[in-house]
Amino acid sequence: MRFLDSDQIRSATAWDELIEAIADIIADDDVVAPDRQVLTMDRPGEEPASLLLMPSWINREIVGVKAATYFPSNAGTSSPTIHAAYLCFDGQNGKLRAVLDGDELTVRRTAAVSALAARHLARPDATRLLVIGTGQLAPNMARAHSEVRRFDAIQIWGRNPAAAGEVAGLLSAEGFPATATLDVDEAIGRADLISCATGATSPVVLGERLAPGTHLDLVGGFRPDMREVDDTAITQATLFVDTVPGAVQSGDLAQPLADGAIAEESIIADLRSLVTGRNPGRRTPEEVTVFKSAGFALADLAAARLALRQADRQPFT
């Protein structure tokens, strides 16, 4: 049995290769991915925590499952809110073959999924990126999106200005045109692409602030009580999701669905339809597009498969 740590996963999943690996596996008819499970863990006196289980497999090749915990009480501490492990089993005999660091795997596949969607949904001439959030995902969202669009300016905003400055400084040191901003409303109005990676339970982005042609990427919320944008942002936009079953469980869609502000039919397409060309994606330069990602098992499997193949320089068998 092998173990791949975060450094090994990072070096084995270059952004361009990871984005293509996810696109390929989404379009593969032989891949199986049951609906994820989100289990609530009540914690008296504190906000509930969550346990997520996400299995998928390719018959006779590989079986993978991610187990992840979400502890919102970790926000603002030295411990991330999400921890995860990924298990890979042999698709021929069911033997455990590898354990991968699930935190790094999750961060990288999440950012790569957003970049893949943005390739179809962001304007080709998008030059200004705003990342909202300062956690593990924030710098990776900037890195992945920069793989599919060339940005002249990348702004970082978070509730903690010092944390936003740290993220911007890290990216700037890597050669990205990144700065921190204190005025999120002004930054929203100027951005061509906005990537939200927060644990917010009330809207951070108001639809009235969005400029025509903006692409809005929502990755932070996965529970019904989590919300990064308001109804105005959702109702005025063309809606796309990673998968419908997962996305409609997140508050950004679940709440306006429950209130009747939108119907499930308001969702134009999922990521598979974009990747396979069944949906053309963005239609006009002025259109506001929203991509809601709640996480899906195939992206984890694609990232794990790529990491193992790159680590061994041969197929996982």
CA distances (Å), origin 76, targets 71, 142, 166:
11, 21, 14
How many structural domains comprise the chain? 2
Q: Residues 235, 159: one domain?
A: yes
Q: Residues 258, 170: one domain?
A: yes
Q: How far apart are the first and last CA of the chain?
A: 12
Question: What range defines the domain where residue 196 resides?
Answer: 123-295
pTM of the predicted model, to two decimals? 0.92
Stronger pLDDT, 316 or 274, i.e. the higher one: 274
Q: Residues 145, 286: one domain?
A: yes
Q: What is the CATH number of the domain that holds 264?
A: 3.40.50.720
The alpha carbon of residue 97 and the mean position of all alpha carbons in its chain are separated, in whole angstroms, by: 27
Q: Residues 145, 244: one domain?
A: yes
Q: Residues 76, 159: one domain?
A: no
Q: Residues 141, 72: one domain?
A: no
Q: Residues 40, 186: one domain?
A: no
Q: Residues 138, 252: one domain?
A: yes
Q: Give Cβ neighbours of residue 27 (< 8 Å, ≥ 6 apart).
A: 272, 275, 276
Q: Among 17-31, 64-78, 263-277, 292-306, which stretch is predicted with the lowest mean pLDDT?
A: 64-78
Q: Residues 148, 275: one domain?
A: yes
- What is the DSSP secondary-structure string of 234-282? HHTSEEEES-HHHHTTSHHHHHHHHHTSS-GGGEEEEHHHHHHTSS---
Q: Residues 147, 284: one domain?
A: yes
Q: What is the CATH number of the domain that holds 75?
A: 3.30.1780.10
Q: Residues 186, 253: one domain?
A: yes
Outline where the chain has alpha helix (H). 6-12, 15-26, 102-121, 137-148, 161-173, 184-190, 231-235, 244-247, 251-259, 271-276, 297-312
Local confidence band at 35 (pLDDT 50, 70, 90 cut-offs) = confident
Q: Residues 233, 166: one domain?
A: yes
Distance CA 86, CA 94 (A): 15
Residue 287, pLDDT > 70, answer yes
Residue 116 lies in a domain: no
Residue 118 lies in a domain: no
